[in-house]
Each structure stands twice: as structure tokens, then as C-alpha cells.
Amino acid sequence: MKKIVLFLAAFIMFAQFQIKADEGMWLLSLLNKNYSDMKKQGFKLTPADIYNLNKASIKDAIVIFGGGCTGEIVSENGLLLTNHHCGYGSIQSQSSLEHNYLRDGFWAKNYAEELPIAGLFVRFFVRIEDVSAQINAKFNDKMTEAERDAIVKETSAVIEKSAAGDGKYIARVQSFFTGNSYYLLVYEQYSDVRLVGTPPESIGKFGYDTDNWVWPRHTGDFSVFRVYMSPDGKAAQYSDKNVPLKPKYSLPVSIKGVKKDDFTMIIGFPGRTNRYLTSYGIEELMDIQNTNRIKIRGIRQDIMMADMKADEKIRIQYSSKYSGSSNYWKNSIGQNRGLAKLNVKAQKQVIEDNFRKWVAADPARQQKYGNALGLLENAYKGRKDYQYAGQYLSETMGRGIEIFSFASRVNRMLDTPDKIAELAKDFFKDYSKPTDQKIALAMINLFMADNKEEYYPGFIATDIKGTFAGNVKNYVDDLYQKSIFANEKEFFEFMKNFDKAKIQEDPAFKAAMSINEMSGKINKLNEPFDADEAKGKRLFLAGLMEMDKTKNFYPDANSTMRLTYGKVGDYRPKDGVIYDYYTTLDGVMEKEIPGDFEFDVPARLKELYQKKDYGVYGQDGKLMVCFTSNNDITGGNSGSPIMNGKGELIGLAFDGNWEAMSGDIAFEPALQKTINVDIRYVLWIMDKYAGAKHLVDEMKIMK
């Protein structure tokens, strides 16, 4: 039986390596290697049309949005599209019981009505440069990982300072191919970004958690912003004197529609993949990281959701927090399911066995790569307990209990009380003491039940087990009564006569400091194993690339701009089932559950549906909502433009599919899909639903 499993795993991996399109997150500066294949697929442009240092190109229209998503410029006046879930935090920050933009949506009729969003920024990608030679030349085989890291840090600082010049640009040197290559990335940041329009949640988040990561999908996942610049054309902080950005390039928008097998490409900023992860790493991911996240966040989210359903104010306050938590909670569930179902660990073991045989066949290879897999095995096994405890500490208390995370942030500002006051305003605006208190009780009990006492932060011994004789509820009740971090009025009274020494005696502050102290101890215990992991990964991937010199390897995602190409298409998730490649407005009405927070349909949308007035946005009497393609994306690609072969915008990427949640570890060509909202649905919502045709008129529409 074992031989059969290994044979099947080997066959699957071989099949993956043979598929030319679809898989891969490619660096724009190296697209010449893919150009021939892209042309065969239906690409009508050239690599220079996408990435060009001498004239405007497509990359100049695509931005990092807010540090965690992608957006695209679609007009000559700085109009920007991204996903609704990417703009969700900004929309929530402007919402209140009086102006509930989450529930009702928002559409600015002119520039003056557009809403500034404090802290929101976009970054335009300027250029990329391979600086591997400058850094790798300083290494030798006798160096420890710490010594290598020091060289990287020192050399990178010099390179970055030169590239940033007078501060106009943000320059970063980043590792690629697990420390085998290094590239300089240069960006220009604009920090005046304003909310222009958003559909209500009942459109922008239609389906919520139930439909998240699932096809068929009927979500109008988009929101609209605008980037502003100073009157003299420079990046600037918010000012009422700023004017709409005049971009180097804006994407033309196609309403010609999509059909099966159409060429597609997505350019964006994918966050993180681990395609070269070994079987040892998969064990840690499944058994510790994902399993812990599923359990801890599930409990915390249940408490939040109960309070959100009971109180509209709390729903507004916690909607963005809940979404941020639940997205990768559900992803972790799907990823574990996919990794197990597709037997990815066995696939990785086949690669590792082949690697060992290749290394053993040559003494020089043995010398160079012989301990790569041994280092990785030792790292993952040796740090098992520390990874478990460290994640639990972070998920339950470091980030899970709000007054602890608030106190920890205040600790970094003790010498700047003005900054603490600003932080407190933002914190208490979206804070519910009763909700956090319920969460604290559940999280502390959970941590104590599931962890060894040697990993308990100090406050558990001194306060819970000491003062309160092990009664967690009594401790929590006392904490939330006495701590100024849980009480808005008392906190701002205290800030009138700020006392650094006194705030350090607050029970929530002391608990937060003991959590940080234990986290530091665990990190220290992890260090030697982390070093083994880094070295093992670097050697393993270097060996793989040497073992197969004919393969066009791509680096794992690391939040840098990438291009992925593929085609529109359907798929077969299981025996006897075929999923079509598109959904329509009919499906929204079929899913409707009146009054349900996930599947309620706005009256205005139902009215328009009955009239079937789709105008130029319809197709054969239908209005397309979403479609699937086999592009290779991950978190960070949310909001990315999906374009046709001419570089015209046909939709916004916003999700992956449930059957291929293992995709960050192993691309599954038969199953993996990108879920996109059709640009025609986006424009129809703007035009017909919202009455914001003036925004559509800004765009260059290709008919």
C-alpha cells in the first residue's frame, strides 16, 4: 500500500511540473523567460508593456493598498479600485450608528464629499534590481546564519540608503529563493487616500463566512478610493489643498466580457507562499499552527459574533476585527483539509527522497547539500513545544485580549504621552468592554488548560494562582473593574496628569509585560532551531535548482509585485460535479434569506433585478457577477486586477476556492482557481444601483 501511495504522489508531482501555464508568481523584470508561453496562451502585449523603466507601463497603475492588499488606478484622476474586504477597515472607521456605511453603503457625489482615511496609504512600485552579487560575495561557508544575517542587514542598509536618495522613495532589499538571492525593491508612497464609494455589506460581503473561500460565489467584492497628491504633483500627507493624483498609467476597463479559455493575467502583491516547504514543515503547519488557530479563533469569534448580533453598535465596532480573524481561521480549516486529502506530505517526501539520492550520487554534492534535510528535520522537531506555546500565547492573550494588546502598544510610547492619547481615541472608538471581558475569561482559561506551566506568563502565578487562588473569573472581573485600559473615562482622566510610573503599576499593563517577557523567553529558545531551519531551507532550495536546471523556478511570494497568467475556466471539484466558470445575479436571488446577515438582499437590488435593466453591462439577458480562472494567487493579491491579453481590466481577484486551500504549499493544477468579481457587475452597481455613473465616466471603457 505504501508503494502505491508513493507512486501516486510521485505521479502528481511530475504532472505538476509538466503543466506550463497557471502555476507561478513571476517577477516582472524576468518575464522574458515566460513570454513565449504567454503568447501561446493569448497574451497580446510584450514584457515591456508591463514593466518598463523608461516609459509608463502597466505596473505603474498597480499599488500596494494599505499594506496588505492590492489596488489599481482606473482613471486619469487617481480613481482606485480594490476589494470591499480590503477597504473594510477604512469603511468601518468612518461608520457609526448615525452614518452606517457598512450597512448602507456610501457614494461621494464629488471630490468634496470623499472621505479622508487616517493612516491609509498606497505604494507604487518603481523598480526592482538584482543585488545578489553584492551580498553573496561577502558570504563564506563557515559563517553561521547569524553572521550571514548581519552581513545582509549591513549591506542592505547601504544599498537602501542610496536608492532612497533624499527620502522620495522607500527602498527595501528582500530575500528571494530562501536566502539564495536578493533584490532591491523601490516604492513611492502616497498617504492621502480617500473613500469614494462602497456598496453595502449585503453586496460587498454577500455570503460572509459561509461563502468565504467557496465557489459558486455571488459577492460584489469591491470598493472605490482616490489617491491625492500635492498641488505641485508630489506625494504628500492629507491636506484639503491636495488634488487628485495624475498617474503615470491607468488601466483601461473592458466590458466585452469573458468566456471560457480566455487568457488572463493578474498583477499584484501576493503575501506569502511556502511552495518549497518540506514534509517536516507540513507537519508543523498542520499539527500546530493551523490546529491551534482553528481552535483558538473559533472560540473567540463565537463570543464576538454573539455580541455583534445582539448590538448594532458592537457589530460596527467589531465587524473589521471579526473579518480579519475569521478569514485565515477558515483558510486554516480548508488548508488542513486540502493538505490531508491531496496527501501533500507524501508528495513532498517523494521530492525529498529524490533529493537525497541525487546528493548521494556525488561527493561534492554531499559536502554542499548533505545536511540540508537533516537540519530541517532537527529544526521542526526540536522547536515543537516552543512553537505550540508561543502561538498559544500570541493568539489567546498577546493579540486575543484587547486590553493586553493595548497596554503593550502603550508601553512603546511611554515617553510620548500625546501619541498614547491618539492611540487611545482609536482604541476606545471600537472597543466593547463586556465583549473583551468575556473573551479574556475564555482565552485565559484556554491557555491554562492547553499549556505546560513552564510557559505561563508571570501574572498567572502571581495574580490568578496567588491573589485569586486559581479563580480565573474573579481575576478577570477584578481586572476589568480596576484597569484604566478597560475603562475609557478613567483612562482619559488619567491622561490629564500622565504618570509613567503609575501606569506601569496598572494590572493590565503588568499582565501585558509578563506576556511579552514569556514571549521573549520562548523566542530565545527557538533561536537555534530557527537558524537550522533557515540554513536547511537555503541549502535545500539551492540544491533543487541545481538538480533541475531546465526548470523555470519562481520565488515564493513575499509581498513583492508578481504576475501570474492562466485562463478562464470551470473545474470538477469531485466525481459527477462540474462547476461552471461564471455566476449571475440570478444566483444572488436564489441564495437570498431575508433578514439574514449573510444572505439578505437589498430591496434596491431586487427592484433592479426584476426590471432586468443591465444595459451595456449585461450578456445574453444575464448579469455576470463572478468568474473563475486558474491564475496562481494568495493573500495580498486581494484587490488585484485581472486583465485580458490586451492589459484591459476585466475584474478584481478576491478569493481562492475551498478545494485547493493547500495551494500556498502545493499548487494543484486540476483544482486551483482564482475567484474574481466581474468588472461589469462592479460598474453596474456603481451606475444603476448607486447612481454613481460619474465614476464610470472617469474610466476608459473598452466596448
- At 464, list the grid cell: 490568578
The alpha carbons of the chain give a radius of gyration, in whole angstroms, of: 26
Rounded CA separation 635/219 (Å): 17
With H, G, I as helix, E, B as strand and everything else as coil, classify residue 140. Answer: coil
Cell numbers for 644: 485580458
CA distance 351 to 406: 45
The 3 state secondary structure assigned to 93-110 is: HCCCCCCCHHHHCEECCC
Whether the link from the prior residue into 216 is cis, omega within 30° of 0, is yes
Tell me how many helices (H) and strands (E) the chain has. Answer: 28, 23
The DSSP result for 588-634, as a single string, is HHHH--TT-TTT---HHHHHHHHHT--GGG-BTTB-EEEEEE-----
Name the active-site residue from 211, 221, 506, 655.
221
Q: How far is CA 544 from the centre of its chain?
A: 28
Interatomic CA distance for residues 558 and 534, integer angstroms? 15
Distances (CA, A) of 86 to 174, 268, 381, 653, 693: 24, 13, 37, 11, 23
DSSP run (H or E) holding 68: none
Q: Which amino acid is at 558?
A: N
Active site residue 221: yes
For residue 168, the Cα-to-chain-centroid distance in whole angstroms is 26
Nearest to 70 by CA among 54, 53, 87, 57: 87
In this structure, how many other beta carbons lie within 10 angstroms of the beta carbon of residue 77?
Answer: 19
**Catalytic entry in 75, 85, 559, 678:** 85
DSSP 654-678: EEE-GGGGGGGTS--TTT--EEEEE
Residue type for position 342 = L
Q: Is 218 a catalytic residue?
A: no
187 near 198, Cβ under 8 Å? no
37 within 8 A of 20, measured Cβ to Cβ: yes
* Contacts of the segment 317-323: beta carbons below 8 A, 24+ positions apart: 317/429, 317/430, 317/431, 317/432, 318/430, 318/432, 318/435, 319/88, 319/92, 319/102, 319/201, 320/88, 320/89, 320/92, 320/93, 320/430, 321/430, 323/85, 323/88, 323/205
Whether 320 sits among the annotated catalytic residues: the reply is no
Find out whether 65 and 86 touch, Cβ atoms under 8 Å.
yes
* Pairing label, strands 701-702, 253-254: parallel
Alpha carbon 26 to its chain's center: 18
Assess contact for 440 and 476: CB atoms under 8 A.
yes
Tell me which of 175, 325, 638, 640 is the catalytic residue.
Answer: 638
Instruction: Give catalytic residues, as residue numbers.
Output: 85, 221, 638
